[in-house]
Chains A and B, each alone.
Chain A
Amino acid sequence: MGSLINKTISRKKQAEAGVGQWRQRFGFRSLQFRIFSLFFLLLLVLQSYTAYLVYRSILDDFDKQSYENLHMGQQLFNEERNNNDVYLGNTVRTIAKDWAFRSAVGQQDRATIISVLANHSNRINADYAQFLPAGGGRISTPESLDSFDGVTPMLPEGGRDGVSFYSYFNGDLIQFVVEPVKAPLFLGWLVMGFSVDQDSAKDLSRLTSLDVSFVFSHDNQLDIIATPLAPTLQDVVASDLTLPLPTDTISIMLGEDDYLIRGFALEGSDGQVQVLLSQRLNELRAGFESVWDSLVLLLAMGSLLSILLAYRIAQSIANPVRRLLEAAADIASGNYGEPIKIDRQDEIGRLSMEFNRMQEAVKQREEEIRFRTTHDDLTPFLNRTGFLDALTVMTNAVAECAVVTLDIEDFRQVNDTLGHTVGDQMIGELALRLQSVFDSSYRLARFGGGHFAMLVQGNEHQAQQLCDKVTQVLEPAFELDGVKIYTNVIKGFAVYPAHALDAEGMLRKADIALDQSRQYKKSAYGDNYGYDPSNDQNTIFRLSLLHELRDAISNDRMELYFQPKLQLSAGQAGAAGTKGYISQVECLIRMNHSDGRMVYPDQFIPLAESSGAIVDLTEWVIESALRQCKLMREQQIDLVFAVNISAIDLTAGKLPKRISKLLSDYQLPPHVLVLEITESAVAEDPQQALMVMNELEAIGLSMSIDDYGTGYSSLAQMKQIPAAELKIDRAFVMNVVADREDQLIVRSTIDMGHGLGLKVTAEGVEDSAALVLLEEMGCDFAQGYYIAKPMPAVEFHHWLVAGDYPYRALGE
C-alpha cells in the first residue's frame, strides 16, 4: 500500500520534473523558444511572402496567358483567314483561267458554263459558284444565287484584281471569292462562295484552342451563325452579350461559368459579322489549380523545413547555453563533472572554454579550500575535520579500526621558551618521525599544539603496538636550535566498534583514553593506553551532570561544606588529649542533585573546568566562604578559610580583581582567605599561573599547594610558587603509621616544606596514631576524618561550638 503510494508520488514527481525540463527547454520565455519563434516567424513571413509573390505572379501569368491566349487567338484567326483568303483566291483564280471554263465563257455557252461552275465547285468544296459576264447578267449554281444582289457592289473596278468578302445570304454566312475571267481580255467575274458553317467554326476553334463563334449583328441583335458552343450556352451568349463586342479581352460570367471573351469584326464582312473568341476560365484554372496544389505542397514543405531550420538554429544557440546552464547548476551544487565540450569557433565556443576554465579554477579553489578545511596547515596531516571524515569512511568500510591520540606534554613550554619558529620546527620533526612509523594505510592528523591523532586499521592489539612504536620513535631527543628537548608523549586510543560506533564518539573516547593516561601517568612500555569505560567520567551521566551543574549554580543547590584544619604546633590541649586548635578550615563544595543525591566535586569539577563553569563556581565558593567567614567573625570566631582554585581560574586571569572586590564587599582582610592550588594546575601554564599567583600574593592572599606529591612538578617550579603552605596528599598520609616509605616521604616533605619556609598540612588523617606521628614529625596542620569530616555550615558551627577542639577567637 505504502509502496504503491510512493510509486504514484514518484511517478508524479517524475512527470513534474519532466514538465519542468520541458518548460526549461521549450517554455515561452526560454531562449530556444524565442529564437525558434523569431526564426520560424521570420522564415514563415518570408515564405508566405514568397508564396504570395509566386501565387500572384502565377495568377498574373495565368491571367496574362489567358488574356494573351485570346489575343493570340485573334491573331491566329486572322492569319488563318488571310491564308485561307489567299488560298481560296489562288484556287478561284486558277479556275478562272481554266481552259474549259474560259472556252465556255468565250463561247458564251450558258449551259456549259453552269456545268463547269458546278464541277469546279465540287472540286474545291465551294458552296456557291457564279459567273458575272462583263456585259451583265448572272449565271449561278445553285440557281438560287441568281437572286443575290450582294456581289455586284463588291466588285473591284477595272476587272484586274480579285476580291474576297463575306456576305449574309439565305441565313448563311458566305465567304465570296471573286476573280476576273480573261480570255485574254476581261470577260466577266468568277464568283465562288464558301459557307462559314459549324465545321469552319470548329476547325478554327481547334486551331486557336478557343471557342470561335461567328455572330451576325443586325438591329443591335446578335445572331449566332456558327459556333462550337453548346446550344444552352449559345442562348446565354445571344441574350447576355451586347454589341459591340469588347475589342479587348474581358472576363464575363456566362451561365454558371466565367469566360474570357473578346470580339472583332470579321474582315471583309462590312462590319456585319463579328467573331467572338471565348474560353472557359475553369479550363484554364484547372491548370492553375494543379500549379496551386504544388505551390501549397511546396509551401507546406517549406514551412516544415523552416520549422526544422528554426528549431536547429534555436537549438544550436540554446543547446550550448543550456548545457552551460546545467554545468553552472552542477558547479553551484558542487558537482564538477566533465568539462563541457562545445566544439565551436564562435562566441559560445569561447564562452564554453572560459566556462571550463572557470569551472577548473573553481574546482581547484574548492579543492584547496577543502584541503585546507580538512588538513593541518603546519604538517601534511589532516586536521580534526579531515580526520573525522577519514574516520567515518574507515568505520563504514572496515570491521575494526582504532584511533590513537597523542599529546606532547610541555609543548607549549617549547613554544613559549624557544619561540614559535622552533615550536613549528619541532612539530615538523615530530611529523616526520610519526610518518616513519606509518605506512600509507594510516591516516595522521594534528589537532593543534602537540595534539596528534592516528587512524589505524586493526584491533586493540595493533593500536597498543602502535602506541609503543610511537613512544619509541619520539623518545630520542629533538635537537632544535642547539637545544636538546626530550618529550613526554601521552597516548590514548579507542577501538571501533568496541568503544564507539561513530567517528565523533571514537575521537572522544580516544581523547578520554588520553586523559586517562595523563591522569594515571601512563607512559611506559606496556602500559595499556586503551580507553577504560569504567573510568570514564565523560559519559552521558557527565553530560546530564553538566546540565545539573548549571542548574544547581543558578538554583542555589550548591552547598559549601567545611572541614577544619587542626593547628598542631600551637601546643594547646584538645578534647582528645592532643594539643592544637582550629585556626583554619577548608571549604569543600557539594552539589545537591535534583534527585536528592549529593554529588562530590571530583565528579563535577572536571566538568566545570571543561565547560568553563568553574570560573563562576570558584567565585561562588569564594563568596560563600567569605560570607561564612563574616558570620563567624561576627561571633568572634577567627578562622582562615581555604578554598580550592582550579588551573582555569589562574589562566582566566581576573581572579585577583574579583577576590579584591569580594573582600572589600565583605569588608574582610585578605589574610582570611587561602587559595589551594594543585601543582598540576601550575604545571599546565606555569608562566601565566605564576603571574596570577604573584598578583594574588601582592594583594595579601596566601596560597597553598594542594595534593602535593601527585603531580610532576619540579622542585625548581615549586620554588617559584609564592605559596605559604604545602598540603601532603592523603595517599601518603593514610598509611603513614604502617608504611615506612610513606613515613619517609611525609617526613622529608615536611622537612623540605619547612626548609622552603612553608607551613605543611597533612591531609587524610584518620586516626590518633597518625596525628601523633605527624605532630612528632613537626607537621603544622592536620586535616582528616579523625578530626572532623566536612560538614555543612550549621553543623560545622555546632561542632566548633561543641568544643572538641578550641578555636581561635577574634583578637587572640
Chain B
Amino acid sequence: MTTRKTWHITATLLLMQMASMANTAELVVNLHAANGKPLVLEGAVLYAEPVSTQGVQQAALNRPEVAQRERQFDPYISVIQTGTRVSFPNRDAVSHHVYSFSAAKSFEFPLYRDQSPDPVLFDRDGVVILGCNIHDWMLAYIVVVDTPYFAQFDDQQLRLSLPDGAYQVSLWHPGLNTEDMTAKSVTVAGSLTLDWTLKHKSRRSSQPGAPDSFDESDY
C-alpha cells in the first residue's frame, strides 16, 4: 500500500518539474580551501532546498544502486532524493552483509551472494552510512536529501541546474567539518556562481581499501 502511494507522489512531482522547465537557472559552486586555493573534493554533494516547497517536483525517476564490487562499495558517495529506492547488487563472488545503523535508514541484508536483494526505499533525509559485516573496511555513504536539486563534485566544480528561486544550499562530504557544511541561503535568478571557502581543513576522504593482511585466500 505504501509503495503504491509513493509511486503516485513521484509521478506528480515529475510532472511538476516538467512544467517549470522554461525558466531553468544554473548554480555553480567553486570550492576553495582555507588558503583560498581551489579545492578538488571528489564525491562532494551539493544540494539546494527551495525555501518554498510549493511547486517542488520529484526528481527524475531513476534507479540508483550501490553495488559491491571487489569488496568495495560503488559508488563511495551517492546522493538521492527522499523516497528513492536504491539497489545493492553484489557483483563479487563472495557474500556480503550490508548494513546501516544510521538514523535515516537502518537495515541489513544478511549474507547474500550474486543476487540483488530488493531495493531499499530511503524515505527520510539524512546521511546513511553503509558497512559490510564481513568486510569491516567497506564503507559507503548515501546522502538522502529532501530536494530534487542535488549534484556531486565534477570537473573541478559543483554545478546544479534548478529553477530560479530562493534556496538553502548545502554541501556534504565525510571529510568536511560540520561548520563548513552549514547551509547557505541564496536566491537564484538565471545563473549564480557561488564561492565556497572552507574555514577548516578538509580530509580528502575516499573509500578505504581492504587491509593488507586481508587476503581472499584466508577465507
Contacts and interface: CB of A to CB of B under 8 A. Distances in A.
A102 B129 contact: no
Nearest to B138: A184
A105 B97 CA distance: 17
Contact of B106 (A105, A107, A187): A107
Interface string A94-105: 000101001101
A185 B129 contact: yes
B139 interface: yes
A183 interface: yes
Contacts of B137: 184
Interface in A180-231: 182-185, 187
Contact of B99 (A106, A185, A187): A106
Contacts, number: 30
B133 interface: yes
Interface in B103-150: 106, 129-133, 136-139
Contacts of B7: none
B106 A184 contact: no
B212 to A, nearest CB: 16
B101 A106 contact: yes
A185 B139 contact: yes
A106 B130 contact: no
Contacts of B101: 102-103, 105-107, 183, 187
A158 to B, nearest CB: 12
Interface string A357-379: 00000000000000000000000
A184 B210 CA distance: 13
A182 B130 CA distance: 11
A102 B130 CA distance: 13
Nearest to B108: A103
Nearest to B131: A184
Contacts of B130: 184
Contacts of B136: 97, 182, 184
Contacts of B99: 103, 106, 183
Contacts of B133: 99, 102
Most buried by B among A103, A107, A187: A103
A281 B130 CA distance: 63
B213 to A, nearest CB: 12
Contact of A106 (B97, B106, B132, B139): B106
A439 B151 CA distance: 166
Nearest to A108: B101
B214 to A, nearest CB: 13
Interface in A159-189: 182-185, 187
A103 B133 CA distance: 10
Nearest to A105: B101
A184 B138 CA distance: 8
Contacts of A103: 99, 101
B131 A183 contact: yes
Contacts of A187: 101
A182 B137 CA distance: 10
A97 B99 CA distance: 13
Contacts of B106: 106-107
Contacts of A99: 97, 133
Nearest to B100: A106
A665 to B, nearest CB: 161
Contacts of A105: 101
Contacts of B139: 184-185
A103 B138 CA distance: 16
Interface in B69-109: 97, 99, 101, 106
A182 B208 CA distance: 13
Nearest to B136: A97
Interface string A452-495: 00000000000000000000000000000000000000000000
A701 B110 CA distance: 187
A364 B19 CA distance: 164
A525 to B, nearest CB: 151
Contacts of A182: 131, 136
Contacts of B138: 184
A103 B99 CA distance: 9
Most buried by B among A99, A182, A183, A184: A184
A106 B105 CA distance: 12
Contacts of B132: 184
Nearest to A187: B101
A11 B206 CA distance: 121
B50 to A, nearest CB: 31
Interface in A76-127: 97, 99, 102-103, 105-107
A102 B138 CA distance: 15
A187 B131 CA distance: 13
A109 to B, nearest CB: 10
B172 to A, nearest CB: 15
B168 to A, nearest CB: 26
A182 B138 CA distance: 11
B110 to A, nearest CB: 10
A105 B131 CA distance: 14
A446 to B, nearest CB: 132
A183 B137 CA distance: 10
Interface in A239-273: none
A99 B111 CA distance: 12
Nearest to A104: B101
Nearest to A182: B136
B138 to A, nearest CB: 7
Nearest to A185: B129
A530 to B, nearest CB: 145
Contacts of A185: 129, 131, 139
Nearest to A107: B101
Contacts of A102: 101, 133
A106 to B, nearest CB: 3
A183 B99 CA distance: 8
A630 B131 CA distance: 188
A183 B136 CA distance: 8
Nearest to B101: A106
A619 B97 CA distance: 174
A184 B207 CA distance: 12
A6 to B, nearest CB: 112
A184 B101 CA distance: 9
A330 B97 CA distance: 120
A89 to B, nearest CB: 15
Nearest to B73: A184
Contacts of A184: 129-132, 136-139
A113 to B, nearest CB: 13
A102 B134 CA distance: 12
A187 B129 CA distance: 12
Nearest to A98: B133
A548 B97 CA distance: 166
Contacts of A97: 136
Contacts of B131: 182-185
Interface string A620-657: 00000000000000000000000000000000000000
Most buried by B among A102, A183, A187: A183
A578 B136 CA distance: 198
A470 B137 CA distance: 153
A112 to B, nearest CB: 13
A106 B99 CA distance: 10
Contacts of A107: 101, 106
A99 B133 CA distance: 7
21 contacts: A99-B97, A99-B133, A102-B133, A103-B99, A106-B99, A106-B106, A107-B101, A107-B106, A182-B131, A182-B136, A183-B99, A183-B101, A183-B131, A184-B129, A184-B130, A184-B131, A184-B132, A184-B136, A184-B137, A185-B129, A187-B101
Interface of A: 97, 99, 102-103, 105-107, 182-185, 187
Q: Which 5 A-B pairs have CB atoms at the shortest separation, nearest pair first?
A: A106-B101, A184-B131, A184-B139, A99-B133, A183-B101
Given A183-B99, A185-B139, 11 more contacts: A99-B97, A102-B101, A103-B101, A105-B101, A106-B101, A107-B106, A182-B131, A183-B101, A184-B129, A184-B130, A185-B129
Interface of B: 97, 99, 101, 106, 129-133, 136-139
